[in-house]
Structure 1
Amino acid sequence: MDDHSASPKQATKEDVIVGLRIQTLRKSRGISQTALGIAIGVSFQQIQKYEIGANRVGAGRLSDIARVLGAPVSVFFEEGDAAAAQEKTEVFDLLRAPGAVDLLNAFITIEDDRLRLEVLALVRSAARMEQDHGA
């Protein structure tokens, strides 16, 4: 069955992508699910459902979310070819990891290129150690 032939209330692959982008943008703005929910008039549980793609986000609601997050509605939709869309989806998946957005926000405040490289080497070393130890 084609994703676009799903019933109006059944979430599709596109709904999951929109949800990932809502979550990533919300986290990058430092806004909690509760605060976003209050701002648009829904529960934090509803925000959770939007973010995992369990519930579809209507056009009006998506417009409200974009307004609260200070972004154009277009930020939630795929653009370009399939490879670029897949790459964007993978990036959004990476940003969902706990602490990923915080780490990036802290990293971009480091102005010294040498220090940035040292931080990157430290993080890579920690990741290798964890992989080697099976933790």
Structure 2
Amino acid sequence: MNEAARKGVSARSPHAIDAYVGERLRLRRTLLGMSQEALGDELNLSFQQVQKYELGRNRISASKLFEVSRILAIEPGEFFAGFDQITASPLPPVDDESAKIASMVARISDTRVRAQIRSFIDSLSTTDRKAG
């Protein structure tokens, strides 16, 4: 029996850390308003390869992760931030609409306005939980 089978993980499913790093990469890229194609061009990769990294299907090497962090203006360690707090599964994927909203809010320079938006969204999500 191979190691993946012993751990109860499909040999084809991404490892939790690869999926987590990929999701963090996708979130940061989206927040900056950068397409997979544009990031791929910067890295001399196809957009499909960037997509595989983001989905955790392919592992990203340390050197490539360092290069990505430089392009996305983020510390390499930020791709792993919070992973140790996750139990058995990675964060749920961020849908495109949520990523678009996060990107728009991130472009608002007035911190008071961003705080008001966050408070408004929090009140809506609290209302949804009570109704459900």
Taking structure 2 as the reference length, the TM-score comes to 0.66
The alpha-carbon deviation at position 61 of structure 1 amounts to: 1.0
Cα distance in 2, alignment partners of residues 65 and 118 from structure 1: 29
Q: Which residue of 1 aligns with 2:32?
A: 29
Cα distance in 1, alignment partners of residues 86 and 59 from structure 2: 20
Q: Which residue of 2 aligns with 1:99?
A: 100
Cα distance in 2, alignment partners of residues 73 and 102 from structure 1: 20
Higher helix share: 1
What's the secondary structure of 1:30's corresponding residue? Answer: coil
Matched positions, count? 121
What's the secondary structure of 2:40's corresponding residue? Answer: helix
Structure 1 unaligned blocks of 5 or more: none
What's the secondary structure of 1:111's corresponding residue? Answer: helix
Q: Which residue of 1 aligns with 2:78?
A: 75
What's the secondary structure of 2:49's corresponding residue? Answer: helix
Q: Which residue of 2 aligns with 1:66?
A: 69
Residue type matched to 1:42 in 2?
L
Q: For structure 1, which segment, 14-23 or 67-76, has the greater mean C-alpha deviation from structure 2 after superposition?
A: 67-76
Deviations 1:33-70 (A, max 9, x none): 11110101100111111101111111111111111111
Aligned residues of 2:14 and 2:57 also touching (Cα < 8 A): yes
Aligned residues of 2:30 and 2:100 also touching (Cα < 8 A): no
The alpha-carbon deviation at position 117 of structure 1 amounts to: 6.2
Taking structure 1 as the reference length, the TM-score comes to 0.65
Aligned residues of 2:27 and 2:99 also touching (Cα < 8 A): no
Q: For structure 1, which segment, 48-57 or 99-108, has the greater mean C-alpha deviation from structure 2 after superposition?
A: 99-108
The alpha-carbon deviation at position 15 of structure 1 amounts to: 0.4
Cα distance in 2, alignment partners of residues 93 and 108 from structure 1: 27
2:55 equivalent to 1:19: no
Cα distance in 2, alignment partners of residues 70 and 118 from structure 1: 24
Aligned residues of 1:24 and 1:95 also touching (Cα < 8 A): no
Relative contact order, CA 8 A, sep 6+: which one is greater?
Answer: 2
